[in-house]
Structure 1
Amino acid sequence: MSVIIKAAPLELMIIGGAALGAYIIANPMKVIKAGFKMSIKAMTAKGPQKQDYVELLQMMFQLFQAFRKEGPQGIEKHIEEPDKSDIFKAYPSFMHNHHAVHFLCDTMKITLSAEMSPYDVDDLLDADIKAIHHEEHMAVHAVQTVADGFPGLGIVAAVLGIVKTMAHLTDGVEKIGALVASALVGTMLGVFGAYGLIGPTATKMGADIDAEGRYLGCIKAAMVALQRGAPPIVCVEYARRSIMPEERPSFEEVDKATKEIKKAA
């Protein structure tokens, strides 16, 4: 380990510096920032869990109930200023998802201000999800490209080490062996970084995007059902059925959650 510990800082400086430079040169600033942000999130956060979906279904049921009872005027204050909404503030997991907040509120604004068929709403929300995912997938592709380049950069670092070694051919076998070992650390770090760290991070980023898409898809199912004129409980059931079985709350759990809202009302 002493050889690796001694050689690692210099090798990482060569590999990491080249990789960072390539990442910055190859991508626009918004993708660079998104890549760093999503990488940190991939390593520190989980996607929406069952409880997050229960809160989402509760929130939509409460919002749709207010819309049914009070009409557009009753929910206008909530969708115009979601940060000040009593309904939204009661569900922090939803409020922390800025994509979801704009996704829901902007859709309700347009459906209240213009006549739209359920098919139009469906197409509108699909286009929004596609646009959000396209931008995020650019960041995933950028990070994956860095991972793909890491082994090559490790070889570059190793070749530089061999070049250095060539100047010590008369210094004896032990000296040459130590220099070659240090050079090979670059190859090892390049391969390890690609397949043991950056590549898996990019894969997790893609999984997080898919999870976010399922969360938005749940909102979409409820919004389309609302546009068809379905009652709030049916809209929520459409949304519940769109959730993957592993994350989907049971009918009884949602029924209990909606009954709590009715009692509070």
Structure 2
Amino acid sequence: MLIIVGILFTMGMVFGGYVIAGGKMAPILKALPIEGMIIGGAGIGSYLVSNNSSVAKKGMKGLGHAFKGSKWKAEDYKDLLCLMFLLTKLIKSKGVIALEPHIEEPHDSKIFNNFPKVSADHHVTDFICDYLRMTTMNFDDPHQVEDVLLKDLEKHHHEESEGAHALSVLGESFPALGIVAAVLGIVKTMGSIDQPVEVLGAMIGGALVGTFLGILISYTVASPVAVKLQQVVDEEGHFFNVIKDIIVSHLHGNAPQISVEIGRKSVPSEMQPSFYELDEAVNELPNDLLT
């Protein structure tokens, strides 16, 4: 929502100031379709040339992601902490054998199904199940597990950031593509050098719209959207960091309450539940989830 507001505000200030200063919109509107086709078409073509299909899809999908923002809200972090509390408590109280049905078939698990939004994300569910499964295979050295977790998270973050990087490079190219459109307009003008001054002036003005449009798209739309997408990727990465910290704390032998408290400290400040909010949420969990 803020992206739309920001774009509309920027356009209003730019074109509003131009009109108030005495500028006329007619030359811009006349040149806009052709200049937009040249710049936009060249941008799309260069985007396809510079990225493989996987990265290109991530960038296009990321546009919607940037507009919607991070999928995880404060309530989701609280649910994640409660989910991890139940799983670690199950291991502590009944052993890893009792955990196996939940991590092998999470969609049939009463524990996972109690938190539908978290369990519906297969990346999060697979991440939890994979690393808890490793603990059942005697891979339970907390330092080794933490190293593997960090490498996995680094790889995941790098892959998720590829779309934002591709859009950022595209945004940086628009000013140069605007110059390309402007040069073509000047070439066209030079071919009509025998025309009256007013005609040549209109043609040169139309050519300059290309430079203007390329810079405007780059610095007010494309590059900011790429930055926003990277912020969303970073925000969603915190969700996995919370899981990592709880699993590592559990492997160090801490009680479930201590492990989820360590995880709570990893939650971004604006999403972080208080100690008492989390304690209340844990105490309100149904008693039959561990049976």
Aligned-partner SS, 1:110: helix
Matched, 1:76 2:76: no
Q: CA deviation at 1:262?
A: 5.3
- Report how many residues are paired: 265
What residue in structure 2 maps to residue 134 of structure 1? 158
Write the distance in 1 (CA, Å) between the matches of 2:184 and 2:71.
42
Write the distance in 1 (CA, Å) between the matches of 2:50 and 2:207.
28
Matched, 1:212 2:236: yes
User: Is the contact between residue 47 and residue 211 of structure 1 (CA under 8 Å) also seen in structure 2?
Assistant: no
Matched, 1:32 2:47: no
Write the distance in 2 (CA, Å) between the matches of 1:139 and 1:9.
28
- Structure 1: runs of 5+ lacking an equivalent: none
**Match among 29, 38, 50 for residue 14 of structure 1:** 38
Q: CA deviation at 1:87?
A: 2.1
Write the distance in 2 (CA, Å) between the matches of 1:235 and 1:220.
10
**Match among 54, 78, 84 for residue 54 of structure 1:** 78
**Match among 162, 171, 184 for residue 186 of structure 2:** 162
Q: TM-score, normalised by structure 2?
A: 0.85
What residue in structure 2 maps to residue 98 of structure 1? 122
Q: CA deviation at 1:264?
A: 5.8
The 1:205/1:244 distance shift into structure 2, 3 A limit, reads same
Q: Which moved more, 1:146-155 or 1:32-41?
A: 32-41
Q: Which moved more, 1:124-133 or 1:84-93?
A: 84-93
What residue in structure 1 maps to residue 4 of structure 2? none
Q: CA deviation at 1:263?
A: 4.7
User: Is the contact between residue 70 and residue 236 of structure 2 (CA under 8 Å) also seen in structure 1?
Assistant: no
The 1:264/1:5 distance shift into structure 2, 3 A limit, reads farther
Q: TM-score, normalised by structure 1?
A: 0.93
Matched, 1:190 2:235: no
Cα root mean square deviation, aligned: 1.8
Question: Percent sequence identity over matched residues?
Answer: 40
Q: Which moved more, 1:148-157 or 1:255-264?
A: 255-264
Aligned-partner SS, 2:191: helix
1:62-85 deviation digits (Å, cap 9, x = unpaired):
222333333223222221222333
- Structure 2: runs of 5+ lacking an equivalent: 1-24
